[in-house]
Chains A and B, each alone.
Chain A
Amino acid sequence: MNLAEMVLSAWDALRANKLRSVLTMLGIWIGVASIIAIFAIGQGGQSAVVSVIESQRLQRTIQILPREWIEPGLPQPGQVLSISDADLALARSFSGVASVGYTLYGQGPVSAVGHTVNASIQAGPADLDELARFMVVQGRMFTATDVVAHRPVALVSQSLAKKLFGAASPVGRTVQVGGHPVHVIGETVSTQLGILSTLLGADEIYMPATTCRDFFPWWSITEMDVEVAPGVDKADLSRRLVTALNVRAGNPDAFVDSSGLWTGIEHMVDTVTRILTWIIGAVAGIALLVGGVGVMNIMLVSVAERTQEIGIRASIGARPRDILAQFLVEAVVITSLGGVAGIGTGIGVAAAVRAITGLPVGVGWPVVIGSFAFSAWIGLICGLYPAMKAARMNPIDALRYE
């Protein structure tokens, strides 16, 4: 009997017991669907985090902050809370420094068409998107020229845009920031910490550092972004720079390089996502195992129920291996169908997650093919024992079985 025929007759046998077949499939179905969805989401989250860590610009940037911003303590003599223009000038004078920018951060009212939202305002150089870890989904990032020219332009986060303009695009609209009209040139989503911040959906507005200083001259500069020239040892330069700034402030703990800190957090998030992926993956694996045991159980029932059929087939010339193949193919067809349904569901879930969170969630071919092969393999393994039981039956006993 050839394979196509065996698959067809297995299909007939499964159709004869539709509900039971579907219920049997369910374990494999759910297991495969969750594995697919979880790996897609896990990988999507990871690649979002990793792409930030690996961004070229961040690799070459030293982010210096007053230590007080990271580890707040009691007011002390010599305490430094902000970065001054003199600090920036000092950094610019170092050899090996390609450029020095700064970022500002504060809270302020942002309003448009009658809505006012208290948003967090971040301002910085033209590569603020990388420093502050967001990406432009619509419109454009502001340029170095915008920064130099003090242009009143800004980008708003998706969440803020929704609150101000509803479903309409914010790009091309005007908002009031601290009472000043600002032209919205782009819409952003955060790439920071993967899925978490996306779900939290912070209300952010980003603009050139120069413009922001014009609006809020009383705000202090909280971060200095030093771009390291190619070929210069970043860690060494960072150490020398922080020491020089500390000496100038007369406080050995005044400043700190936070880029390592960021990377640390992101590594941690990366590790946590990875561990979570594996834990949930293991749970899904157990679901598959339970599904497989279910398939085995039903195949045993089916073999017992069809004892007489086995006897009839044997009497007209089915060899033990024909009987074995028949039940094996049936088990593999069940689990493969479950696998296909699971792959479909998993892809659906992944697509839904992408639509909701905007994470780069995708299901790769290797995962699809792997899951399919795996579910077929479960059928083979779990069908083997029942099929062997069927094949070993004595024809006459099977035939006489009532």
Chain B
Amino acid sequence: MQLSSVFKHYSTGAGRLTVLRDVSLTIAAGEFVSVIGPSGSGKSTLMHILGCLDVPSEGTYRFQDLNVGTLDASALARIRNREIGFVFQNFYLLPRMSALRNVELPMVYRGVPRAERRRRAEALLERVGLADRIHHLPNELSGGQRQRVAIARALANDPAVILADEPTGALDTQTGREIMALFRALNEQGVTVVVITHDPDVARTARRMIRLVDGRIVSDGRVEES
């Protein structure tokens, strides 16, 4: 994933708002990166661009050697479906669907046959420790359990990249630690993981930390093992 001189502007009632300024960044396959910065610094915006949910206003973004700016909505959807798994701060599960069906959904859009889909969704939920909750609706689950469902869903199509926006924001320290351990385990299996957070402790779980202030990268470096 490579960003070169990316700017993101929004036009608001008060005029033009620049959220990302001249961001250049390369993330290689298999990295475990955290993005840290104060509220409003543009972390989520950066993640949406990395995840092909949004496009830069200026500059280019290349994902696996594809120039994202030249792709149409269907091609972007295909990338999100197969190569990227999102984990959002507020989970974004579909409220009327059971945990199992939420996890199945990315595979539904990929066209995976029903039986295989079901089997894989069950395996994923078991892996995140929710084997006994697969038929529960999201509102019948705790925050940590919902986040695990979201992670299982992000993993459904075996993505190359996991993008997590404040995955521990709504969780207590203990649960947050468990979730981060899960990401770490995934990274050890070769998945690229990008975690956005404002919590330095969480950020230190990663191997590389990028600090964002006011839409600019102010530091980018390895995290020393403690």
Q: Contact at B81–A317, with CB atoms within 8 Å? A: yes
Q: Contact at A317–B53, with CB atoms within 8 Å? A: no
Given A12-B96, A399-B53, A319 contacting B78 (CB threshold 8 A) = yes
Q: How far is the CA of A316 from the CA of B109 in the complex (A)?
A: 8
CB 8 Å contact bits of B100-128 with A (1 = contact, 0 = none): 00000110111100000000000000000
Q: How far is the CA of A212 from the CA of B117 in the complex (A)?
A: 86
- Residue in A closest to B153 when the chains form the complex, CB atoms: A316
Q: Contact at B74–A317, with CB atoms within 8 Å? A: no
Given A1-B111, A13-B96, A321-B74, A316 contacting B51 (CB threshold 8 A) = no
For A315, what are the chain B residues with a Cβ–Cβ distance below 8 Å? Answer: 51, 53, 80, 86, 92
Tell yes or no: B73 within 8 A of A by CB: yes
Q: Contact at B73–A320, with CB atoms within 8 Å? A: yes
For A309, what are the chain B residues with a Cβ–Cβ distance below 8 Å? Answer: 94
Q: Contact at A316–B74, with CB atoms within 8 Å? A: no
Tell yes or no: B58 within 8 A of A by CB: no
- A residues 319-369 in Cβ contact with B at 8 Å: 319-322
Tell yes or no: A5 within 8 A of B by CB: yes
Q: Contact at A5–B53, with CB atoms within 8 Å? A: no
CB distance from A321 to the nearest CB of B (A): 7
Q: Contact at B77–A318, with CB atoms within 8 Å? A: yes
Q: Contact at B53–A395, with CB atoms within 8 Å? A: yes
Tell yes or no: B48 within 8 A of A by CB: yes
Q: Contact at B53–A396, with CB atoms within 8 Å? A: yes
The size of the chain A interface, using a CB distance under 8 A, is 22
Tell yes or no: A314 within 8 A of B by CB: yes
Tell yes or no: B211 within 8 A of A by CB: no
State the total of A-B contacts with C-beta under 8 angstroms: 63
Cross-chain contact of B92 among A1, A312, A318 (Cβ < 8 A): A312
Interface of chain A: mostly helix, strand, loop or mixed: helix
Q: Contact at B77–A314, with CB atoms within 8 Å? A: yes
Q: How far is the CA of A315 from the CA of B110 in the complex (A)?
A: 13
Tell yes or no: A113 within 8 A of B by CB: no
CB 8 Å contact bits of A280-324 with B (1 = contact, 0 = none): 000000000000000000000000000011011111111111100
Given A1-B108, A309-B94, A399-B92, A317 contacting B51 (CB threshold 8 A) = no
Tell yes or no: A16 within 8 A of B by CB: yes
Q: How far is the CA of A311 from the CA of B48 in the complex (A)?
A: 12
Tell yes or no: B187 within 8 A of A by CB: no
- Residue in A closest to B52 when the chains form the complex, CB atoms: A395
Cross-chain contact of A316 among B48, B54, B73, B106 (Cβ < 8 A): B106
- A residues 1-45 in Cβ contact with B at 8 Å: 1, 5, 12-13, 16
For A396, what are the chain B residues with a Cβ–Cβ distance below 8 Å? Answer: 48, 53-54
Q: Contact at B96–A317, with CB atoms within 8 Å? A: no
CB distance from A69 to the nearest CB of B (A): 76
Tell yes or no: B205 within 8 A of A by CB: no
| Interface core residue of A1, A13, A309, A319 (most chain B CB under 10 Å) | A319
Q: A1-B108, A317-B77, A322-B109 are in contact. List 17 more A-B contacts (CB 8 A).
A: A308-B92, A315-B53, A316-B109, A316-B153, A317-B78, A317-B80, A317-B82, A317-B106, A317-B157, A318-B77, A318-B81, A319-B73, A319-B78, A319-B109, A322-B77, A396-B48, A399-B53
Binding site for B on A (CB under 8 A): 1, 5, 12-13, 16, 308-309, 311-322, 395-396, 399
Binding site for A on B (CB under 8 A): 48, 51, 53-54, 73-74, 77-78, 80-82, 86, 92-94, 96-97, 105-106, 108-111, 153, 156-157
24 A-B pairs within 8 Å (CB atoms) are namely A16-B96, A311-B92, A312-B93, A313-B94, A313-B105, A315-B53, A315-B80, A316-B81, A316-B106, A316-B109, A317-B77, A317-B82, A317-B157, A318-B77, A318-B81, A319-B78, A319-B109, A322-B77, A322-B109, A395-B54, A396-B48, A396-B54, A399-B53, A399-B92
Q: A-B pairs with the 6 shortest C-beta distances? A: A317-B81, A319-B77, A396-B54, A316-B106, A319-B74, A317-B109
